[in-house]
Amino acid sequence: MNGYHLKTMKQLLAVVIGLSLCAAGCADPPAPATPTPVTPTVTETFTGQLLVLGSNSHTFTVSQIGGLQVTLSGITPPAAIGIAVGTPSGASCLPIQSLTAVANPTAQISGTATITGSFCVSVYDVGGLVEPVNYTVTVLHS
């Protein structure tokens, strides 16, 4: 090889290495690892009286990403009412998941809190109450 070709090859190699470094430097950083959900260990019990056509909200704080269970564990006199888990918004609870339930020792709502912070549980008349009822709702979270 003559000096001209060697010089041209060195320049080409320098350009290729420069482009490679630029491409590596311009890449997006890797996404952070997803936290592993923990087993729920905090139990909170909320009680109250639900009026005909009424609704009540109770707030709680999730400290770690993990399991979340809501149980309508008692209602007197027996009735079907609505329960929801959601996020607080002023004096109300914006539901994420809701359903109609009767008292049962087994969780009616189960899932995973994928963020930490304030959550709420709401109980409400779905239109079937003919008199006020007393309720107990248990929330298990982390």
Regarding whether 75 and 19 lie in a shared domain, the answer is no
Amino acid 129: pLDDT: 97
First to last CA, the chain: 71
Rounded CA gap, 116 and 68, in Å? 11
Rg, Å, the chain Cα set? 28
Domain count, the chain: 2
> What is the per-residue pLDDT for 33?
64
Is residue 37 assigned to a domain? no
Cis peptide before 77 (omega within 30 of 0): yes
Predicted pLDDT at 8:
44
Range of the domain at 12: 1-30
List the structure tokens of 8. 């041209």
- Do 54 and 124 reside in the same domain of the chain? yes
Residues of the chain with pLDDT under 50: 4-6, 8-10, 12-24
For residues 51 and 97, state if they share a domain.
Answer: yes
What's the pTM?
A: 0.74
Backbone angles phi, psi at 136, to 5 degrees: -135, 125
| pLDDT for the residue 21 | 45
CB neighbour class for 50 (10 Å; exposed up to 12, middle 13-18, buried from 19): buried
CATH number for the domain including 90? 2.60.120.380
What is residue 25's predicted lDDT score, i.e. its pLDDT? Answer: 52
CB 137 within 8 A of CB 45: yes
Strand locations in the chain (E): 42-50, 55-62, 66-76, 81-89, 92-101, 109-113, 117-124, 133-141
